[in-house]
Structure 1
Amino acid sequence: GGYVKLFGQNVEDENPDDPTNYAAKSIFQRLYILAAGPAMNLLFALIFMPLVFLIGMDMPAYLNEPPLIQNVQQGSYAEEIGIRANDEILAVNGTYVKNWGELHSELAKVSTEETLTMEVDRAGSLVVMEGSGTKFQNAGPMGLSPFLAPVVGEFTEQSPAMKAGIQAGDKVTRVNGQPILDWSEISPAVQQFMQDSVNNLETATKTLTVELERNGDIQFVEVAPYLEPKSQRWLLGMSMLKVSRSFSFSESVSLGTSRLWFLTKATLGFLGQIFQGEGSMDDLGGPVKIGMVIGDAARSGIAELFFLMSFISLQLGIFNLLPIPALDGGHIFMLLIEKFKGSPLSVSMREKTQMVGFSLLISLMVFVTWNDLMSLL
C-alpha cells in the first residue's frame, strides 16, 4: 500500500487551465488515474498467488490420499447433486483423479459454460452425477469433507502437547479412552472431557490422557490443555501432518486464480458483515498484527510469504475501492456524481467529505492498533 499526492487533487491546488494539473484532466483520465493504485494491488495478487502453488507450500497430507468422502455438508452443492458420505470420487468431467489434490485442481477448472460431471465409486458401483457449472461456481465451498488421519504434524509455540512429550508423526488413537479414527474427532473429545471436568468440581482435573501410536508402539501421555480466551475452546497446540506439494504452471495459474476468487468473496462477505453490524471488529488487524504474521510467514518459507503478501495486496485493493471519502473508491464515487450531475460537487462539500473520510480512517487505524496491542497482553 501507499499514498501518492497528485498535483491539483487538493481543492486549494486546483487549476483547470494548467494541463499538468489533476483538475484539468477529463473524468475518464481521472478515473484511470484513481483506479491505477487498486489495480496494481490486484495485479500483484494475481501474479504472486500462482507462484505460491508453482513453488510449493506445506499442505495437509490428505491431499495425497484418495478422494474418499467422510462427510457431505448439509445444504451444500455436493449434497444437491447427490454425493454421499463414503463415496470415492473417481473423475471430474472425464479426467480421473487419484487424490484430493488432483480433485481440487480439476474442480478449479470447471467453468460456468460447462456441465459438471462427477463419477464416483459407491460401494463398488459406478455412479455418475451431473450439475450446473454456473451453480457450482456460485455455490462457494462444495461441502466435501475428507478423512483426516489423526497424525500430528506441527506444534504451536508453548504447545501443551509438545510439553507433554507428543512428537511429530505420532498417531492419536484415543483421548481419555475415546477412540479416535479421524483428526476432526480430537477437538470434540477434548472439549467434552474438559467441560465435564470443569462442571464436576469433585473430580475436576486439568489433564487428559492421550493414547498414541509411535513406531508401532503404544504410548500414553498426560496433556494439560489451555483455554483460549477468545474462542473459549480447550487447545492442545498441535496441527495435523502436512506435506510439501508443487504444481505445474497451468495448474498453478488455475489454482491461484481460483484461490483469489475464493478470498475475494470471503473478504467482501466479511466487510458486508462488518457494515451490517453482524461481524466482530475484534477480527480486524493493524500494523502490529500484520508485522507479526508476515514474520511468521517469512520463517515458514518463501511460498507462505508470497501467499500472505498476495492476500494482503488483494485486501488492500478491495478496501481502497470502497466508496469512502479519502480512499480511491471515494474519489471514484465523487467522479461518478460529477459525471451524472454535469459538474463537480461544491468546494465546501468536497472539503467536508474529505474531512469525514480522513477522520474515519484515523479512527480505524487507532482502533486496529489498539486491538493489536491488547491481543499481545
Structure 2
Amino acid sequence: MLESPGFLFTILAFLVVLGPLVFVHEYGHYIVGRWCGVKADTFSIGFGRKILGWTDKRGTEWKIGWLPLGGYVQFAGDRDAVSQPDANWHNMPAEERSHSFPAQPVWKRALIVLAGPVTNFLFAIAIFAAFNMASGVPTTPPVVGAVEPGSAAEAADLRVGDRIVAINGGAIEKFDDIPMAVAFDLGKPAELAIQRGGERIDVLLRPRVITETDRFGNKGERAVIGIRSGEIALEPVNPLAAVQAGAAQTWGIVRLTGDILGQFLTGQRSVKEMGGPLKIAKQSGEMATLGLSSLIFFVAFVSINLGFINLLPLPMLDGGHLLFYGYEAIRRRPAPPQAQEWAFRFGFAVIVTLMLVVTFNDLGSIGVWDRIARLIG
C-alpha cells in the first residue's frame, strides 16, 4: 500500500475513477436512445480535440477527447453537445428526421435524458451489491454498547443497553444508521426515541462537532453523539437481498447529498467546502493508495454524486432538460425558444460561476494559495 500518492499516480487514479463513470452515464443516454429509434451522431468521452476515434456501422462516431472532464452523446438533430436542437432539423430528409432527437415525442426524449443519471445510480447499486455479497450486510442492532465520557450521550443520560429506534422522526434499524443520521447536521439538536426496557423515552441532545484529520492531512467536520456499538454483526445475503441493500445504501447517499446541498443553499455550510475535479482527482489518488476496495467504493460514491448533480434543474444539465419536457408535457407545446435561450444562458452562467468557485477551493486544498502567499510575503 502506497503511503502518499504521487502526481502521475493521482492522474491515473482520477482517470480510472472518472473515465468509466462518464462512459456509464453517456452509455445510458445512448442505449435508451437506440431503443427509442434515435440515431446517435457522436459518442464522446472527454471534450475538445479528438485523440482517438472511429465510426461504427450505424454511423456513430466514437471518440476520446483530450479534456477528460466529462462526455456527451450528440443525437441526430442536436445543435451541440448539450442537446440544444438544431434550428434546421425540420429540413432534414423525412427518413433521417424520423430518427432525430427533436422529432421524438416528449416521453421518449425525457426517458433518454433520464437514462444517464439513472444508469449512474444503477452502477452504484451494482457495486454495493457486489460488496454486500462478498462481505455480508451490517446488521448490528442500534443498541448502545458504550457511552463516551464527556459526550452529548452522557449529558443526555443515555445508558448501555438503550435501543435507539428513531432520530428526528427517522426510523433507525441498525447501528450504522445512527452516525449517518447526525454526522452531517453540524451539531443541530437531535431528538432520539429510546427503548429502555419496556419504556419508550424521548431524548433531546446536541451532538458535538469534531474535526478529524486523515492520514493525508485532509480535515473534515462531523457531529457525534458519543456512543459505541456492541459486537459488530455481518449477515450473509442472497443476490436479491444484496441488491436491495445496495439500493438502500445508494438512496441514503442521495438523501445525504441533498441535505448537504440544502445546507450550502441556506448558508449553514460555507461554499469553501465545495470541491470540483481537482479535489476528486486528489481523493482518487488517496483512495487508490488505500487499496482496490476503497477505490471501487469511491467510484460508487462519485457515480451517485454524478447522477445527482445531473438531475439538478439547471439548463445544460439533464435536470434542466427534464424541466422543459415537464413544461411541454403539461402545456402540450414546447417552451418559447426565447425562454429556452435565456434559461440556457442563465444555466451556463451558474455552472461557470460554480466551476470558478470549486476550482478556487480545489487550488486552495492542494496548497496553491498558501505557496503564493509565502512567495509574496
Larger Rg: 1
Paired position in structure 1 for 2:158: 85
1:68 aligns with 2:145: yes
Deviation at 1:73, TM superposition (A): 5.9
Q: Which residue of 2 aligns with 1:4?
A: 73
Q: Sort the Cα spacing of 1:335 and 1:356 in 2 relative to 1 into closer, same or farther, 3 A.
A: same
Instruction: Work out the CA distance in 1 between the residues paired with 2:177 and 2:359.
Output: 41
Say if 2:135 and 2:236, in contact at 8 Å, map to a contact too: no
Structure 2 match to 1:156:
215
Identity %: 26
CA distance in 1, matches of 2:129, 2:243: 5
1:323 and 1:329 in contact (8 A); partners too: yes
| Residue of structure 1 equivalent to 2:237 | 249
Q: State the partner residue of 2:294.
A: 304
Aligned residues: 245
> Structure 1 regions of 5+ residues with no counterpart?
93-101, 108-116, 121-126, 132-141, 146-153, 160-227, 232-239
Contact 2:216 2:286 in 1 (8 A): no
User: Partner of 1:99 in structure 2?
Assistant: none
- Pick aligned residue for 1:29 from 102, 105, 108: 108
Query: Are residues 360 and 7 of structure 1, via their aligned partners in 2, closer, same or farther at CA, if it must alter by over 3 Å?
Result: farther
Question: Do the aligned partners of residues 345 and 90 (structure 1) sit closer, same or farther apart at CA in structure 2, a change above 3 Å counting?
Answer: closer
Amino acid at match of 1:34: V
Residue 337 of structure 1: CA displacement? 1.1
CA gap of 1:157–1:326, structure 2 versus 1, over 3 A, is: closer
Deviation (angstroms), 1:32? 0.5
Corresponding residue for residue 137 of structure 1: none
**What is the distance in 2 between the residues matched to 1:90 and 1:271?**
31
* CA distance in structure 2 between the partners assigned to 1:39 and 1:263 by the alignment: 14
Aligned partner of 1:363 in structure 2 is: 353
How far does residue 263 in structure 1 lie from its aligned partner after superposition? 1.7
Moved more, 367-376 or 245-254: 245-254
Contact 1:14 1:23 in 2 (8 A): no
The question of whether the paired residues in 1 share the 8 Å contact of 2:121 and 2:250 is answered with no
Q: Is contact 1:118-1:128 (8 Å) kept?
A: no
Distance 1:44 1:364 in 2: 26
- Please give the alpha-carbon distance, in whole angstroms, between the structure 2 residues aligned to 1:47 and 1:304: 15
**Conserved in 2, the CA contact under 8 Å of 1:320 and 1:329?**
yes
Distance of 2:144 and 2:243 partners within structure 1? 22
CA contact (8 A) 1:41 1:316 kept: yes
Separation in 2 of the partners of 1:55 and 1:368? Answer: 36
Asked if the contact 1:105/1:254 (under 8 Å) is kept, the reply is no
Per-residue Cα deviation, 1:197-240 (whole angstroms, up to 9, x for no partner): xxxxxxxxxxxxxxxxxxxxxxxxxxxxxxx7x97xxxxxxxx9
Structure 2 letter corresponding to 1:46? I
TM-score (norm 2): 0.54
Give, in whole Å, the separation in 1 of the partners of 2:98 and 2:311.
Answer: 27
Distance 1:348 1:35 in 2: 24
Q: 1:320 maps to which residue?
A: 310
* 1:50 and 2:50 correspond: no
CA RMSD of aligned residues (A): 4.3
Q: Which amino acid aligns with 1:331?
A: H
For the residues of structure 2 that align with 1:333 and 1:327, how far apart are their CA atoms?
Answer: 10
The amino acid that maps onto 1:249 is: V
The answer (yes or no) to whether the contact 1:90–1:119 under 8 Å persists in 2 is yes
**Equivalent position of 2:89 in the other structure:** 15
1:41 to 120, 128, 131: 120
Q: Cα deviation per residue 1:235-287 (whole Å; 9 max; x = unaligned)?
A: xxxxx9xx999752347545533332322221101111222333211111111
Within 5 A, what are the aligned runs for 1:205-216? Answer: none
Q: Residue 301 of structure 2 aligns to which amino acid in structure 1?
A: F
